Structure 1
C-alpha cells in the first residue's frame, strides 16, 4: 500500500504511472473538490463515478476520450460501506481541470449544467492512468468550497474547517476499507 500527496494532473500521473508500472493493481485517490450542485453538501463524501477530462494530462493516457470511469466494483463497495457506517455521501461525476481559482460564474454554471457534482484537478488523470494500465481506481472527494453557492477557499469558516476535518477522517476510513478488498 502506498500513499502520496499530489497536486494537479501531472503530479497525479507521475505517481500513478510509477505505481502501476511497479504492479499496483488498485488506486484510491482522496482529495478535495469544489461543489457544483445543491445536491452535495459540506460533510458529504463524493464517490466519483466518472470524470470529464479537462486537466491537460489524462488525454495522454487515453487519447480521444472525453471522460473516464471509476471502477464500478470500487464504487459499489464504497456505497455499501458508507451505508453500513452511516456516512453521508453522493455518487456522481466531476470535471478535472488544470487550474483553480480562475473559474467564473459562467464556467461554474456550465459545469453544473453538464451534471457534474464537483470540480478538481487530479481525478481524471488518476483514473486515466489506471485505465491505461488496466488497473482499478476510484476517487473519494471532500467538498472544500461550494462554488455553486458562491463559497470559495477565501470564505473559509471554523465550522467548515471542522466539517472538513470530520469528513477527511471518514474518507480515510473508507479508503483503508477499500484498500483491503480484492477483486477478480
Structure 2
C-alpha cells in the first residue's frame, strides 16, 4: 500500500534495497546495471526501481540528503514494504590519510553530531553500527572481486557547510575515515525495527588531499566499483 512518501504497491520492492542519496543515481543504476527494471515509486521525484542483477532480485531507491530524509524512506520501506536490508551506497569526504579519492569505505560504525537518537530516550549514547553479516558479506565479495575496501568508523554529519570549523580534525584523531550525512540515521532506524543496514561509500573529495575532487558527473559514473560490489554482494 502507498505511504505518504512512497507510492509503490505491496510487493513492488524486493527484500534488499540499494539506497543512493541522489534519485538520479538510482535511475542510473536501474538503467545501466539492472535487467527488467521498472519504476515503482516517484513521489516528490524520489525514484525507486525493482529489477534483477544476473537473474537475482534487487531494488534501488533514492534517499535524499541528510538523516531526516533517509530516516523517513527507510522507516517506510522496512515497516510497510517488507524490506529487510537497506544498503546505503553514496559518496563521502575523506578525513584519514589512510583513504584516498575513489577509495571505497564500508562503514562498520557511524558516529554522528545529530540529535536523531534522542527520540529513543536513552540514559546514554547509542552507537549506530552496521549489521555484521551484511558487512562481512560485502568484505568477502570485495576480496573476491579484487576491490580494495577500507573498513571503519565514519561520521554522519548534520552539516555539509561547517562554516569554517576545524572540528573535523578532532574526529580524524579518533580514527574517523570520512564524513557523509545519512548512515547513522539509517543504522538507528534499522536497529529500532530489528532490520539490517550497511553503508558503503566512494571517497569523492578529501579534507587533506584537496587537489583531487570528483565533479558531479564523475560522482555519477565513477562509483561503479562500489555499485558492482553492492550488487554482487546483495542481489538474491
TM-score, normalised via structure 2 length: 0.67
Match of 1:94 among 148, 154, 165: 154
3-state SS, counterpart of residue 70 of structure 2 = helix
Q: Which residue of 2 aligns with 1:47?
A: 106
Q: Which residue of 2 aligns with 1:71?
A: 131
Q: Which residue of 2 aligns with 1:140?
A: 200
- Aligned-pair CA distance for 1:44: 1.2
Taking the aligned partners of 1:179 and 1:60, their CA distance within structure 2 comes to 31
| Mapped pair 1:107 → 2:167 | yes
Contact 2:107 2:153 in 1 (8 A): yes
| Mapped pair 1:21 → 2:76 | no
- Which structure has more relative contact order (CA 8 Å, sep 6+)? It is 1
Q: Which residue of 2 aligns with 1:34?
A: 93
Contact 1:43 1:88 in 2 (8 A): no
Q: Which residue of 2 aligns with 1:179?
A: 234
TM-score, normalised via structure 1 length: 0.85
Considering only CA atoms, is the larger Rg found in Structure 1 or Structure 2?
2
Q: Which runs of 4+ in 1 moved over 6 A?
A: none
3-state SS, counterpart of residue 171 of structure 2 = helix
Aligned pairs, number? 176
When residues 164 and 44 of structure 1 are mapped into structure 2, their CA distance, relative to the original with a 3 A threshold, is farther
For residues 1-45 of structure 1, the C-alpha deviation after alignment (integer angstroms, 9 at most, x for no partner) is 342232101001010110110221111001111101010112211
Return 5+ residue gaps in structure 2 as ranges: 1-58
Cα RMSD (Å): 2.4
